[in-house]
Structure 1
Amino acid sequence: MEALVVGAGVVGLAVARALALRGASVVVAEAAEAIGTGVSARSSEVIHGGMYYPPGSLRARHCVAGRRRLVRFFESHGVPYRLCGKLIVATREEERPALETILSRGVANGVEELALLEGADAIALEPALSCVAALHSPATGIVDSHALMLSLLGDIEDAGGVLALRTPIDAAERRDGGWQVRFGGEAPDVLRVDCLVNAAGLGAQALARRIDGTAPDGVPRQVLAKGSYFGCSGRSAFTRLIYPAPVEGGLGIHLTLDLAGRMRFGPDVEWVERPDYGVDPDRAGLFAAAIRRYWPGLPDGRLVPDYAGIRPKLSGPGEPAADFRIDGPAEHGLPGLVHLFGIESPGLTSALSLAEDVVDRLMAGI
């Protein structure tokens, strides 16, 4: 079987690896000049536990299963990571019910070792913290996302797969029992494959519209949420990730750590019309006010603009958070084609589990 995966972010690479390990001849087409330059390059690099998402949802199922697969992958491939744990904190009594809801969801989703702590117990773990209660998730961690993507690519290439950079897809049509794909870029060409996976991230909806046979009403709208991050100079005040109670459109301005121990804060939520990766230094004041709710000791002038990412959401302001969307032959009626829409957080954590789901759908619909 010959397969084309469009998009060399973490999910696209994971899908290509899963196909290659099942014996497919795989090409990964990436429009950019390197792997993982879009959504995957601008995340928090967090290994999520899986407690935020409604039980039975694709996010819940794939986050928990994906995390377990990832940890085994990290160990077998030498990918740098650390399960440092996370505290989701209530800084006011009114936020305590939100923690109880997250705990209930986590238990239903099978997340391990969750514990609801009183404020004093949480502060005993993290003395710089201020809160009235916290939910402790020891299974949460951090990873070097680029090292992960390089390891996925290594497995693809070891299995005979090929990466084609600077290779945008102009169109695809169903022909002779397979897909005929027309490439643009530096070397326009045509490739015939048995199956096609649209893992183009921010470009997934646009690509779907260029694939012949995809019904216009089968392509969901895309809503862009920009999230900025600020770094923090000086020695880290925390050893765990610190998350506030969730806010509309995201998980709130949280504290994450990189593998060197450096603190960074974000993302916030800005609804935008088009990708914009600039970080406005004037947002530091908004960040500082949010951070001081759980870290009152944040010194003045320590926040510095770091980077921004764009999340390809399927729901907008004031709407319930949409689930991942995996549209295979059973959904759109086209053999050998899977679209991935709205793959944002926890996409990195879910990648290996999502990949198996995609391949199963392809195999069932070819």
Structure 2
Amino acid sequence: MIGAAIAAKVAQESRQVYVIEKNESFGMETSSRNSQVIHAGLYYPENSLKAKTCVEGNKLLYDLCRRFAIGHRNTGKIIVAVDSFECDALEDLLNKGRKNGVEDLRLLSRRELQSLEPNIAGVAALLSPSTGILNVHELIKMFLNQAKELGAQVVYKSEVTGVEKDNALYQIEVDSSGEKFLFETRVVINSAGLHADEVARMAGIDIAGAGYTLYYCKGEYYSVSWGKSRLIDRLVYPVPPAKLTGVGVHVTLDLDGRIRLGPSAQYIDEIDYHIDDSNKRQFYAEAKKLLPFLDYDDIEPEMVGIRPKLQKPGEGQKDFIIRHETDRGLPGLINLIGIESPGITASPAIADIVSDMVKQIL
């Protein structure tokens, strides 16, 4: 997603752009295995890159979806307090969101909540009208088509295996279906998602010392039976946990109206997309707090996504890293590390930032 958005933006400046993708098609990892939500920007620290790019990206993304007929829906979202102890957290989120420039947030009483979503359990809620959902596959495809129309080349089944600085250029080693080749470039944009820290290491950066080490956080999703899918109209989120490893097991909708639960948050050592029903009871218990109409047999395991996090287990959230590495003796190398949620929403704003960096280099 991020690489596609950047390619489309940079190609507008008549640059010769190459997109190197290790998988057989686009968006097969973090970009497609997520909630596909257009976020508003209320969870992130004031003045952080996450906050700035999310709030700006929200507006840009809705505009792109309208202009290019990308499937989307401005559903809105409610964050629900299930007891009086969580009401203060709603106030905190309201204030944080307003500081970030999210101007349409509104607190709801129990009566107002029941009026909007009569099938949701809660004592109060925070309404985020500008939250929505979209078809991420269509968005990535649009970005790549834009880039290719402007002359960019997209190469699949090709994995970067080496990055070496050679005077004013970089030598990039690529393994393409078992065949090795080299090419030279003045600018390297490392937007490798789960593997971005490894690409930075190839370029000679001490990733531990730089704070670039990524930690894999596995999130499972469960789908809800079609018979219960018309009982809510908006996305429904719990009050987030203090450490914000994720925003808690939440309730989203796809564009067909089906309800999805998730993701969970479990740190893992290796990439693993396996899912079974071993966590079904936990998912059901969490979701039942918000959706009292849910029965145990209504939910089934659906998919797994893995988030590239910069924070270790137990640490508070860390910001995106978007950095031109000139002070490390690597002018022309732009690293994007830890681009997790709200990366999809932020993608057009991130592309603008990186495009400006490229203009300064070239």
- Of 100, 114, 117, 1:123 maps to 114
The CA deviation string for residues 48-80 of structure 1, in whole angstroms up to 9 with x for no partner, is 010111110000000011111111111111111
Determine which of 164, 177, 185 is the counterpart of 2:176: 185
Aligned partners of 1:358 and 1:121: how far apart in 2?
Answer: 43
State how 1:198-237 maps to structure 2 within 5 Å.
Answer: 198-211=190-203, 213-216=204-207, 217-218=209-210, 220-233=212-225, 234-236=227-229, 237=231
Change in 2 beyond 3 A, CA 1:118/1:56:
same
The Cα of 1:214 is off from its aligned counterpart by 2.5
In structure 1, C-alpha distance between the alignment counterparts of 2:133 and 2:195, rounded to whole Å: 27
**Counterpart position of 2:160:** 169
Corresponding residue number in structure 2 for 1:238:
232
Distance 1:328 1:176 in 2: 17
Pick the aligned partner of 1:256 from 243, 252, 263: 252
Partner of 2:302: 306
Distance in 2 separating the partners of 1:209 and 1:330 = 15
Q: Which residue does the alignment assign to 2:293?
A: 297
1:28 Cα deviation from its structure 2 partner:
0.2
Q: How far did residue 219 of structure 1 move?
A: 5.3
Residue 333 of structure 1: how far off its partner (Å): 3.7
Q: Please report how far the alpha carbon of residue 112 of structure 1 lies from its aligned counterpart in structure 2 after TM superposition.
A: 3.1
CA distance in 2: counterparts of 1:148 and 1:225, whole angstroms: 24
TM-score (norm 2): 0.96
Q: Is the 8 A contact 1:329 1:362 kept in 2?
A: no
Which segments of 5 or more consecutive residues in structure 2 lack a partner in the other structure? none
Whether the 8 Å contact between 1:79 and 1:148 is mirrored in structure 2 is: yes
Could you say which residue in structure 2 is the equivalent of 1:44? 35
Displacement of 1:330 in angstroms is 4.7
Percent of paired sites with the same residue: 37
Post-superposition Cα deviations, 1:205-259, rounded to whole Å, max 9, x if no partner, equal 1111111x42442352211111000000124110100000002411011000000
User: Which of 321, 326, 348 is matched with 1:325 structurally?
Assistant: 321
2: CA distance, partners of 1:55 / 1:116: 20
- Give 2:247's aligned amino acid: L
For the aligned residue pairs, the C-alpha RMSD in angstroms reads: 1.3
Unaligned runs of 5+ in 1: 1-9
- Does residue 88 (structure 1) correspond to residue 72 (structure 2)? The answer is no
Q: Give, as a single letter, the amino acid of the residue that structure 2 aligns with 1:353.
A: A
User: Does structure 2 retain, via aligned residues, the 8 Å contact 1:229–1:307?
Assistant: yes
Q: Distance in 2 between matches of 1:291 and 1:28?
A: 40
Hey, what does 1:21 align to over in structure 2? 12
Q: CA deviation at 1:98?
A: 1.1
Following superposition, the deviation at residue 331 of structure 1 comes to: 5.1
- The answer (yes or no) to whether the contact 2:326–2:333 under 8 Å persists in 1 is no
In the other structure, the counterpart of 2:142 is 151
- Structure 1 letter corresponding to 2:353: D
Determine if contact 1:86/1:141 at 8 Å carries over to the other structure: yes
The alignment covers a number of residue pairs equal to 356
- Superposed CA deviations along residues 341-360 of structure 1, whole A, max 9, x for unmatched, are 11000000000101111122
Give the match for residue 4 of structure 1.
Answer: none
